[in-house]
């Protein structure tokens, strides 16, 4: 059915027509009659420049408009979805009264990723509170052939959480209730919109911790974490979300509520359907609630920050660490000297150890402080005595622990202040983890401002970042597909923990065989036959 043509041209429609027309100027994209209230959930906490940003403007009301539309920057065409009409808005208002956002100012933050590299032009955002409301919304959108972009905290790195065109934004921000927590089993049941840091506080008050910890924990939603299968800083100790998530409630594209919200540790009855949705990035269904197994809160936490003379020593220190610390080892992170320089220069954080080519952060978590301190002391004596480590510092109080962790967690922030950032998140065999950084420095030479490597060495996860004064097509051409081919040559993964989203969907073939991609497409067609859920993301476009 042809969408109803609006007789009156309301302000939100005029704004949408301006923002979605290729070539529209910044002035055209601001509708003079709109409210100037600040955008809710605004992610503007990071300062940086991108090739898509028009410099010289400081107005908060035009910050989103400074980022060029995704469909102008990338070769992507809008699929034949319906456009939102006034009748649709009226229907949504009946479903979620008072929670239909059409004000362009309020939509700004939700249309742009936090890295400010991609921007959609959605003209409506919906804020349901329950899975039933999500079900009503999706059932309606499925019938009307309206595309939907599920969105949590909008902290993703690959453009998966914002619209590409005018998809309806379905925000989980108000689905933020803890449903239950069992003090004996440590099983948490909560809605998808709960912020990770708030969940951490909730379970820590009950002597448990979340199995997941991220630098974006103050903003990211647990539903988004699950949808992207986020890794994070505790992966080494507690493993993947595929193991710690016990159950999910998911709303499918046609509005069907799939209630697999079990709290059982063991359930061997047929296919484990929840695993399909962990890491599916909102393309198969919208996660509305989760059941998560939380480990007991460690009684003793120690953090050591060490300097190493080379990457070979970083690897040997890791081997020694596993052998001597064993069951209390909870994190092993590394960063190179350029990371430390950037953190110092842009964030004014001081290194606690003497200058070194590489730095390692080791965290231990156990039940007895004396036992853990003794093991850690023996380990440090061993690595210092053998020359694997040249300098180090140890923290046991919470304040100093947070200070040491900040050196690692805030690298992304420091990079964003250094210029335009080309970001890569790859999995590699640990013995080859840093070779890619070395080869890229040689390959790029002075065309790159900085080429840095850091990440979760214990998981084989490298965060490779290249900064430049401004975006360069030629520099991008030297990086891609070289990075992906090099990674594939080591039988690595082009996405370790950030997901695929919009930016990596066309390089999935470097990590997955054609048969796997075909099966993924078939699963998508089965669960979302109209393709309305998070289109243009995760899977390569069909020929």
How many whole angstroms from its chain centre is CA 176? 19
How confident is the model at residue 473, as a pLDDT?
87
Cβ atoms 21, 13 nearer than 8 A: no
pLDDT tens-place string over residues 511-532 = 999 999 999 999 999 999 999 9
pLDDT tens-place string over residues 476-500 = 999 999 999 999 999 999 999 999 9
Mean pLDDT of 52-58: 32
246 burial (CB, 10 Å; 0-12 / 13-18 / 19+) is buried
- pLDDT higher than threshold 90 for residue 111: yes
Mean pLDDT of 240-248: 97
Rounded to 5°, angle at Cα 300 from 299 and 304: 155
How confident is the model at residue 38, as a pLDDT?
29
pLDDT band at 36 (very low <50, low <70, confident <90, very high): very low
Longest dimension (CA), the chain: 80
Considering only CA atoms, which of 134, 93, 153 is closest in space to residue 289? 134
- Between CA 151 and CA 534 the distance in angstroms is 9
How confident is the model at residue 4, as a pLDDT?
35
pLDDT tens-place string over residues 119-170 = 999 999 999 999 999 999 999 999 999 999 999 999 999 999 999 999 999 9
pLDDT band at 179 (very low <50, low <70, confident <90, very high): very high
How confident is the model at residue 20, as a pLDDT?
61
How confident is the model at residue 470, as a pLDDT?
87
Which single residue is written with the structure tokens 């595929």? Answer: 242
329 DSSP assignment: E
Cβ atoms 264, 503 nearer than 8 A: no
- pLDDT higher than threshold 50 for residue 7: no
How confident is the model at residue 47, as a pLDDT?
28
How confident is the model at residue 29, as a pLDDT?
29
pLDDT tens-place string over residues 281-320 = 999 999 999 999 999 999 999 999 999 999 999 999 999 9
pLDDT band at 233 (very low <50, low <70, confident <90, very high): confident
Which residues, at least 6 apart from 211, have a Cβ–Cβ distance to it below 8 Å? 234, 238, 239, 241, 244, 292, 293, 294, 295
- Between CA 425 and CA 422 the distance in angstroms is 10
Mean pLDDT of 74-98: 97
11 burial (CB, 10 Å; 0-12 / 13-18 / 19+) is middle
How confident is the model at residue 115, as a pLDDT?
85
Cβ atoms 511, 493 nearer than 8 A: yes
Pairing of strands 125-126, 148-151: unpaired
- pLDDT higher than threshold 90 for residue 73: no
- Between CA 237 and CA 458 the distance in angstroms is 9
| Average pLDDT across the chain, whole number | 89
Cβ atoms 418, 342 nearer than 8 A: yes
How confident is the model at residue 543, as a pLDDT?
53
- Between CA 230 and CA 221 the distance in angstroms is 11
- pLDDT higher than threshold 60 for residue 2: no
How many whole angstroms from its chain centre is CA 541? 22
pLDDT band at 6 (very low <50, low <70, confident <90, very high): very low
Cβ atoms 252, 211 nearer than 8 A: no
Cβ atoms 139, 254 nearer than 8 A: yes
How confident is the model at residue 66, as a pLDDT?
81
Which single residue is written with the structure tokens 């190179």? Answer: 336
Q: Please give the full DSSP string across 124-183, using - where no structure is assigned.
A: -EE--SSHHHHHHHHHHHHHHT--EEEESS---SSS-SS-SSSPEEEE-TT---EEEE-T
R_g of the chain, CA atoms, integer Å: 24
pLDDT band at 541 (very low <50, low <70, confident <90, very high): confident
Report H helices in 43-128: 70-73, 86-95, 104-111
Q: Token pair of 169, please?
A: 């934004």
Backbone angles phi, psi at 154, to 5 degrees: 60, 45
How confident is the model at residue 45, as a pLDDT?
30
């Amino acid at each position: 059915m042809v969408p109803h043509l609006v007789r009156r041209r309301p302000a939100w429609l005029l704004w949408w027509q301006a923002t979605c027309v290729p070539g529209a100027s910044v002035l055209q994209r601001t509708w003079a009659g709109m409210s100037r209230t600040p955008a809710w959930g605004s992610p503007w906490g990071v300062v940086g420049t991108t090739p898509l940003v028009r410099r010289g403007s400081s107005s908060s009301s035009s910050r989103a408009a400074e980022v060029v539309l995704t469909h102008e920057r990338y070769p992507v065409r809008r699929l034949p979805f319906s456009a939102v009409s006034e009748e649709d808005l009226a229907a949504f208002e009946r479903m979620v009264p008072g929670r239909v956002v059409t004000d362009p100012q309020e939509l700004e933050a939700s249309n742009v990723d936090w890295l400010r590299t991609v921007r959609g032009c959605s003209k409506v955002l919906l804020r349901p509170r329950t899975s039933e409301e999500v079900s009503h919304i999706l059932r309606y959108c499925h019938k009307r052939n309206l595309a939907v972009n599920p969105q949590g905290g909008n902290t993703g790195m690959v453009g998966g959480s914002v619209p590409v065109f005018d998809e309806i934004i379905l925000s989980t921000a108000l689905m933020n209730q803890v449903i239950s927590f069992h003090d004996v089993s440590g099983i948490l049941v909560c809605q998808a919109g709960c912020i990770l840091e708030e969940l951490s506080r909730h379970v820590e008050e009950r002597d448990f911790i979340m199995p997941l910890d991220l630098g974006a924990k103050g903003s990211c939603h647990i539903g988004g974490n699950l949808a992207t299968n986020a890794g994070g800083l505790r992966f080494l100790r507690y493993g993947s979300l595929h193991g710690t998530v016990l159950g999910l409630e998911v709303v499918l594209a046609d509005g069907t509520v799939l209630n697999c919200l079990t709290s059982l540790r063991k359930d061997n009855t047929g296919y484990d359907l929840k695993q399909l949705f962990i890491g599916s990035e909102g393309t198969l269904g919208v996660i509305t609630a989760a059941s998560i197994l939380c480990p007991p809160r460690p009684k003793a936490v120690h953090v050591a920050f060490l300097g190493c003379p080379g990457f070979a020593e970083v690897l040997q220190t890791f081997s020694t660490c596993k052998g001597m610390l064993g069951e209390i080892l909870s994190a092993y992170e590394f960063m190179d000297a350029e990371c430390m320089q950037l953190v110092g220069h842009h964030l004014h954080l001081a290194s606690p150890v003497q200058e070194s080519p590489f730095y390692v952060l080791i965290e231990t978590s156990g039940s007895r402080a004396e036992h853990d301190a003794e093991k850690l002391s023996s380990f440090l004596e061993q690595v210092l005595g053998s020359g694997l480590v040249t300098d180090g510092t140890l923290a046991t109080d919470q304040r100093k622990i947070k200070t040491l962790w900040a050196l690692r967690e805030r690298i992304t922030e420091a990079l964003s202040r250094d210029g335009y950032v080309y970001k890569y998140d790859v999995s590699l065999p640990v013995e080859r983890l840093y070779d890619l950084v070395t080869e890229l420095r040689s390959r790029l030479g002075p065309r790159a401002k900085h080429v840095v490597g850091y990440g979760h060495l214990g998981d084989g996860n490298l965060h490779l970042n290249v900064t430049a004064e401004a975006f360069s097509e030629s520099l991008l051409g030297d990086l891609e597909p070289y990075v992906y081919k090099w990674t594939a040559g080591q039988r690595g993964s082009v996405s370790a923990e950030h997901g695929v989203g919009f930016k990596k969907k066309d390089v999935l073939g470097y990590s997955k065989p054609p048969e796997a991609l075909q099966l993924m497409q078939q699963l998508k067609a089965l669960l979302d036959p109209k393709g309305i859920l998070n289109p243009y993301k995760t899977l390569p476009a069909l020929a």
